[in-house]
């Protein structure tokens, strides 16, 4: 069984737009969010907090539903595309393949908000995990689909294949990726994707 882990933030869920919208509301009404490139890492590059606790309260106490639950998908009709792609995995004639969702950096209230987001987009992925570390993702998944730089830096893990979804926030990581795509839809459109990730000697 080959387990494909698909990260939610920046791959499925457009969390950046929600972060900008509610940061503007809570901290800086004059912030021109329309002029900000939301493909960057807005948490590190744009949003300014006086302390880690202020950032935590903003994301996980005051606005978890708005940020994690009410976000849109990264692309139009992505929910239905995921449903169709997951269903197609059952027809794959190679190794058994399954897909799961994972979301790092979640707090207690954001978890239930994320589950609402998944129900809103019509997810039929049977397993969703909320790991506390990247190591947990590696332990659970053979193939990791992510826009997070951490998976594409440092030594590669034996037997693990990291697939990059390209964003400004991971610029320069493409050379360290097993495969890379502009977005999740382009991955789904690659008819050879499953063959590429299930080959034993890569």
Residue 28 has pLDDT above 70, yes or no: yes
Same domain membership, residue 98 and residue 63: no
Same domain membership, residue 94 and residue 8: yes
CATH number of the domain bearing residue 115 = 3.40.50.1000
Name the pLDDT band for 201 (thresholds 50, 70, 90). very low
Q: H/E element holding 180?
A: strand 179-181
pLDDT tens figures, 68-105 = 999 999 999 999 999 999 999 998 988 899 999 999 99
DSSP for 39-106, written as a single string: TS-HHHHT---SSHHHHHHIIIIISHIIIIISPPBSSTTHHHHHHHHHHHHTT-SSS-EEEEEE--S-
* Range in 12-16, 35-39, 145-149 the model is least confident about: 35-39
Same domain membership, residue 106 and residue 54: no
Per DSSP, the three-state class of 156 is: coil
Same domain membership, residue 86 and residue 52: no
| Look-up of token digits 């008819």 | 191
Residue 202 has pLDDT above 70, yes or no: no
Q: How far apart are CA 5 and CA 165, in angstroms?
A: 13
Domain hosting 115: range is 2-13+73-198
Same domain membership, residue 148 and residue 128: yes
Same domain membership, residue 103 and residue 147: yes
Name the pLDDT band for 199 (thresholds 50, 70, 90). confident
Same domain membership, residue 154 and residue 116: yes
Same domain membership, residue 101 and residue 29: no
Same domain membership, residue 122 and residue 48: no
Same domain membership, residue 98 and residue 37: no
Mean pLDDT of the chain: 94
Q: How far apart are CA 32 and CA 123, in angstroms?
A: 33
Same domain membership, residue 178 and residue 93: yes
Residue 18 has pLDDT above 70, yes or no: yes
């Amino acid at each position: 069984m080959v387990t494909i882990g698909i990260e939610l933030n920046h791959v499925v869920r457009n969390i950046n737009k929600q972060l900008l919208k509610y940061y503007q509301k809570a901290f800086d009404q004059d912030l021109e969010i329309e002029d900000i490139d939301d493909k960057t890492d807005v948490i590190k590059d744009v949003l300014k907090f006086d302390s880690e606790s202020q950032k935590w309260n903003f994301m996980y106490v005051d606005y978890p539903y708005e940020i994690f639950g009410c976000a849109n998908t990264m692309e139009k009709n992505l929910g239905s595309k995921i449903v169709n792609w997951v269903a197609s995995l059952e027809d794959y004639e190679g190794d058994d393949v399954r897909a799961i969702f994972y979301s790092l950096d979640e707090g207690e209230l954001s978890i239930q908000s994320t589950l609402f987001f998944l129900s809103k987009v019509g997810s039929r992925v049977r397993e969703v995990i909320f790991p506390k570390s990247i190591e947990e993702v590696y332990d659970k998944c053979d193939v990791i689909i992510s826009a997070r730089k951490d998976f594409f830096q440092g030594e590669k893990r034996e037997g693990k294949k990291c697939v990059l979804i390209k964003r400004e926030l991971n610029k320069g990581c493409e050379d360290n990726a097993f495969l890379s795509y502009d977005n999740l839809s382009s991955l789904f459109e690659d008819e050879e994707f499953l063959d590429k990730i299930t080959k034993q000697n890569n």
